[in-house]
Structure 1
């Protein structure tokens, strides 16, 4: 499933936010890695991602995080959640955690270039 991503980066506070276009609100907010939070709607689908201390967490420069060309992939099964982030077609981060949140089996992509 592919959705249009609207992303923003606050350099002063070092916070990255990626939101699915047209989605409002969420019913759950899960910390899937240190500083990475995934918000889920009532259909159990991702609506947004917030990354605090983004340049440190993603181990990249603040200038790269200001790019508008962002793609976030979220793959879930009953065992794990896989999160990846690409900026300007370069993978800058990926992580995997246990799916103790009950997120549905999905292959989900949020892309700023749709």
Structure 2
């Protein structure tokens, strides 16, 4: 499944925010890795991403984070959640964590160019 991503980067506060177009709010926010938060909707599906201290957490320049060509892939099974983030088709972040969040089986992509 593919959804349209709306993303923004605040250079002053060094925060990256991305959300699925048309989604309003979230029910819960999970810290899936140091500084990477995943918002979950009422159906337990991911609908937003928040990264504080983004340039440090992702180990990229602030200039890179200002690019609007962002793609986020989220795959989840009963054991693990996989989070991958691309900017200009370059993989800048790839995380795996235990699925302790009751997220159902999902395989989708949030793409700013969708």
Which residue of structure 2 lines up, in the alignment, with residue 6 of structure 1? 6
Map 1:70-81 to 2 at 5 A.
Answer: 70-81=70-81
Map 1:1-114 to 2 at 5 A.
Answer: 1-114=1-114
RMSD between superposed Cα atoms in Å: 0.6
Structure 1 CA distance, aligned partners of 2:56 and 2:73? 20
Which runs of structure 1 show a deviation greater than 4 angstroms over 4 or more consecutive aligned residues?
A: none
Deviations 1:20-42 (A, max 9, x none): 00000111111000000000111
Give the C-alpha shift of residue 14 in structure 1: 0.3
With normalisation by structure 1, the TM-score equals: 0.98
Give the C-alpha shift of residue 66 in structure 1: 0.2
Give 5+ residue unaligned stretches, structure 1.
none
Give 5+ residue unaligned stretches, structure 2.
none
Deviations 1:61-90 (A, max 9, x none): 000000000000110000011000000011
Q: Secondary structure at the match of 1:64?
A: helix
